[in-house]
Amino acid sequence: MTSAPLALRGATLVVALTAGFLLSACAQLLISGASMGATAMYDDRRTPGMQVEDQTVEFKASSRVNDTIGDRGRVTITSYNRVVLITGEVPVDADRAAVEQAVARVEGVRSTINQLAVMPASAVSTRINDLVLVGKIKATYVDAKDLQVNAFKVVVDRGTAYLMGFVTEREAARATDLARRIGGVQKVVTVFRIVSEAALAGVRPANVQAQPTTVQSAPVSSESVQPSPAQPSPVN
């Protein structure tokens, strides 16, 4: 008579332990990023005004995507200097095209990069692993000493790392090579705006010195993508 309640309590314990593990992992990610987040607004190479614009674009675009496809698929919107990266999964090609069109019509969007995959939504474990990889990439940039971590916007989706930011040729090569070497990263896609060392000199923090870096070959592939211009006549 007591076997069923005991089994139920055992299953509840397993669920509770699993939830506790996930909460602990998330907490560690939040803690590891807290020190960098505290100065992100100051160190970001975008102007404060542009950072606010990007946040506004992300909010409006996400809302527009929800209006367009509802709960069909999983779509993540990331805006950097009003260039919008679209990642995630949708069930059919028509939804993929509709999402890009909806985002391109959002006021303030300069261009779009559609990296949506037509496939079932990724598992929760995959998304957690992607968050862990983001943390590892940023931590690697901090340890490198010759990169300003907040100059880079890092997004990982199903093991593909997307790197965005205003960077020099040296920084682009260095950051790409470091990301490629992290275990679990399947591919690196760069969406950089390249600036000269001279142009950057006026905004570089005093504690970050440019250092010569030798970029060596790595087993993980990388590529650079070009954004598609946003459509005219944006819809409010």
**d(C-alpha 199, C-alpha 197), whole Å:** 6
In a shared domain, residues 80 and 156: no
Does some domain include residue 38?
no
In a shared domain, residues 113 and 130: no
Which pLDDT belongs to residue 127? 97
Does some domain include residue 145?
yes
Q: Which tens digits make up the pLDDT trace of 71-117? A: 999 999 999 999 999 999 999 999 999 999 999 999 999 999 999 99
Q: Which of 121, 148, 182 is the C-terminal boundary of a domain?
A: 121
Which pLDDT belongs to residue 198? 87
**d(C-alpha 9, C-alpha 82), whole Å:** 51
Q: What is the CATH number of the domain that holds 85?
A: 3.30.1340.30
Token digits of residue 197: 């060392």
**What is the count of structural domains for the chain?**
3
Q: Which of 87, 121, 155 is the C-terminal boundary of a domain?
A: 121
Q: Which of 121, 154, 187 is the C-terminal boundary of a domain?
A: 121
**11: containing domain:** 1-33
Does some domain include residue 39?
no
Q: Which tens digits make up the pLDDT trace of 5-51? A: 434 344 444 444 444 544 544 444 444 444 444 444 557 999 999 99
For the chain, how far is it from start to end, CA to CA, in angstroms?
Answer: 63
